[in-house]
Structure 1
């Protein structure tokens, strides 16, 4: 299972919506929870500082930030911050299923089931060399995986249902889901075009 940023966003909306009747979040609090569910994926811009240039080896892709948020939420008695930490933690757990992540950080080891790369992990460089752009390997693995696509659809449906029933006043933020979806689809078709050009050259 490989989760795109729009699906992490959906998980954040689901979590925030489910807790909304209990805590009656204002807009800032609701957005805080949603953003906490996907914000750490922007650490990709700092990949050059990570082990093996893999952004998932950064501390932002460990459980440490989520623990900090949860503790701060308890100390300041701010439910939204506590739940933001929980949403962050869920992101890290979910990431263990596809390529894995540096869950505990300090061992500097990738942890998780790594379902999308388990068969190719030993000869990964060989598999990557088959593509014009190495990103294509990871992208195509996702879009060729029916379970991943099904999970994405299910998360979208559950997101819509939960926000309608529990947080209808925040319905407008669904717009940002489609921005994330557009980003991934645009990249997918760009990579397909790149690989198609390589095939034509051969």
Structure 2
């Protein structure tokens, strides 16, 4: 799932948690940040197996467990919820391309419904059909009606939840759009390259 959708889910979790548990602004922010921060590991892809950022330790259960443990040690409910928001990100990512969930077996785990067994086994053949290798993954994502529908639902759910529970934090909505535009600009840039 794209970072904007993880962000929307973080806002939903933070808003509901803040409303019912009376969390402070710092905790609200921590939950949102935890929901998408692991996608910044893309900047370290060169260190990952197959140059796939989802094979890094950041896309495993380990960071979320550490965050939850620190939350328990310091008796900090906001940090515990942030750990679960991080965990939810990693689990959701198992549905599209999969993640190295347990890290140490060095195996990508998940339903991985965006890639067939044939595509996975013959990935180089499929990637060679594109001028830019990442176009394969980008186009598969945008052809998935389920993922596009999920992104739309999460966006409107975020708007609804924040307006019902934590309107005082309405400004966090504005941070959603740079993440969305990043993916859209990237998609259309790749599309133009492939069509030229």
- The separation in 1 between residues aligned to 2:88 and 2:99, in whole angstroms, is 12
Name the structure 2 match of 1:86: 84
Equivalent position SS for 1:94: helix
Aligned counterpart for 1:42 among listed residues 40, 43, 66: 40
User: Residues of 2 paired with 1:192 and 1:56: CA distance?
Assistant: 24
Map 1:147-186 → 2, pairs under 5 A: 147-186=146-185
Question: Unmatched 5+ residue regions in structure 2?
Answer: none
Counterpart in 2 of 1:33? Answer: 31
Shift of 1:50: 1.2
How far apart are residue 15 of structure 1 and its match?
0.6
1:56-78 CA-to-partner distances (Å, cap 9, x unmatched) read 11110001000011111111111
- CA offset digits 1:84-111 (Å, max 9, x no partner): 0000000000000011000011111101
| In 2, Cα distance between equivalents of 1:156 and 1:108 | 33
Q: Distance in 2 between matches of 1:29 and 1:84?
A: 8
Distance in 1 (CA, whole Å) between partners of 2:160 and 2:75 is 29
What is the root-mean-square deviation of aligned Cα atoms in Å?
0.9
- From 59, 62, 76, the equivalent of 2:60 is 62
Number of equivalences:
195
Tell me, what secondary structure is at the counterpart of 2:96? coil
Which of structure 1's runs of 4+ aligned residues deviate more than 6 A? Answer: none
Distance apart, 1:25 and its partner CA: 2.4
Query: Taking structure 2 as the reference length, what is the TM-score of the superposition?
Result: 0.97
Distance in 2 of aligned mates of 1:86 and 1:166: 20
Q: Deviations over 1:108-137 (max 9, x none)?
A: 110101100124111111111000001111
